[in-house]
Amino acid sequence: MTKVKFDCLPTMIGTMPQTDAAEACKVVLHYLKDIPAWPQLPKRSFLENMYVQYSEDFPGVVVQDGKIFVDRDKETDKALEQLYSAYLENNIDKYPITEDYAAGLHQFLTYKELSVVAVKGQIVGPVSWGMTVADNSGKAIAYDEVLGDAAAKLLRLRASWMERELRQLSKNTIIFVDEPYLTSLGSSFFALSKEKALSMIREVFSGISGLKGIHCCGNTDWSFILGTGTDILSFDAYNYATSLSLYAQEVKKFIARGGVVAWGIVPNEEESLKKESPASLQDRLEEAIAPFTRQGIDIPFKDLKSQSLLTPSCGMPSLSPEAANTALELLNGLSERMRRK
């Protein structure tokens, strides 16, 4: 794990409300000078929907009329053979993320003269993709032994390709694997075994040589996520701070091995943003951190602070561009207050 001292620096989850890639990158680089992240732009095109964005060339995939599914009637043997061949050869150039699917990424990669601590990218998690994308009979891809495995391998190749491209901007890279579906872990809606979910996530992680993180924007079994081998745990601390505090001992071990917590403490909802200031968010953040520093857990505050990032609670596609700017301005103000402390 890299020895980067994050010290409550700000970054973001990924999605932005803009439709113009250059404008979105301009905002990102203005507010996130130390750890910029390339912007996903789902309002620009359905191809930038998180479940579509990394699906290009998946065997049998169909994207049409605002929907994505896998057509079982298509011939997939050749596509599967090509995918597995590229995987075995680690030929990441066979599966790039093209500009039609990620205009923000390709615009971001043009900024070669950045002076930053790190750069951040993000990719949909294999569990969330496999549980959300279904075939034309309605069966989730994750339940298919062959296609579920293929999904994880495709995402591994795409994560490796993205990381290599981002290394042109900084030697320090962060790739978040976005796994919103893990909020259903252990419920009747989640028939996938924990062992299978863990295997799929670790497959994608194996393609990431820099810092890797998991972002989950709801309540979940945090011990499962901490057990994946992730370097960064990213969560919605604005709404779900208490849920992580129930796993204080696991978090203590995570911090002791050099793990980083990304506190999603700035809300991504306009009405909530209107009520907050850097000072009020600092109070909220310190309240979220307090259970981990109390007697019995005793994580030194300086360690938590050094091994923390600050982010919005989740992506910001539902905000207006003005509100997204407000969220990033609040994030910056909070970061400055915490770094002065």
Q: What is the pLDDT of residue 341?
A: 79
The answer to whether position 150 is within a domain reads yes
Q: What is the pLDDT of residue 239?
A: 95
- Stretch 243-254: mean pLDDT: 94
Above 60 in pLDDT, residue 233? yes
Mean pLDDT of the chain: 95
Q: What is the pLDDT of residue 171?
A: 95
Q: What is the pLDDT of residue 283?
A: 96
The answer to whether position 3 is within a domain reads no
Q: What is the pLDDT of residue 191?
A: 84
Q: What is the pLDDT of residue 2?
A: 52
Question: Which residues have a Cβ under 8 Å from the Cβ of 92 and sit 6 or more positions away?
Answer: 86, 157, 158, 160, 161, 164, 207
Domain region containing 254:
9-340
The answer to whether position 268 is within a domain reads yes
- Tell me the residue type at 162: M
Above 80 in pLDDT, residue 305? yes
The answer to whether position 114 is within a domain reads yes
Residues 270-283: tens digit of each pLDDT: 999 999 999 999 99
**In the structure, what pLDDT confidence band is assigned to residue 188 with cuts at 50, 70 and 90?**
confident
Q: What is the pLDDT of residue 5?
A: 85
Unique residue bearing structure tokens 């306009």 = 270
DSSP string across 33-100:
SSS-BPPB-TTT-GGGSTTTTT-TT-TTEEEETTEEEE-TTS--HHHHHHHHHHHHHT-GGGS---TT
Q: Are 116 and 34 in contact (CB under 8 A)?
A: yes
Q: What is the pLDDT of residue 1?
A: 54
Residues 87-118: tens digit of each pLDDT: 999 999 999 999 999 999 999 999 998 999 99
Domain at 260, CATH number: 3.20.20.210
The answer to whether position 2 is within a domain reads no
Q: How many domains does the chain have?
A: 1
Share of the chain above pLDDT 90, in %: 91
- Judged by DSSP in three states, 284 sits in helix
Residues 7-65: tens digit of each pLDDT: 999 999 999 999 999 999 999 999 999 999 999 999 999 999 999 999 999 999 999 99
The answer to whether position 307 is within a domain reads yes
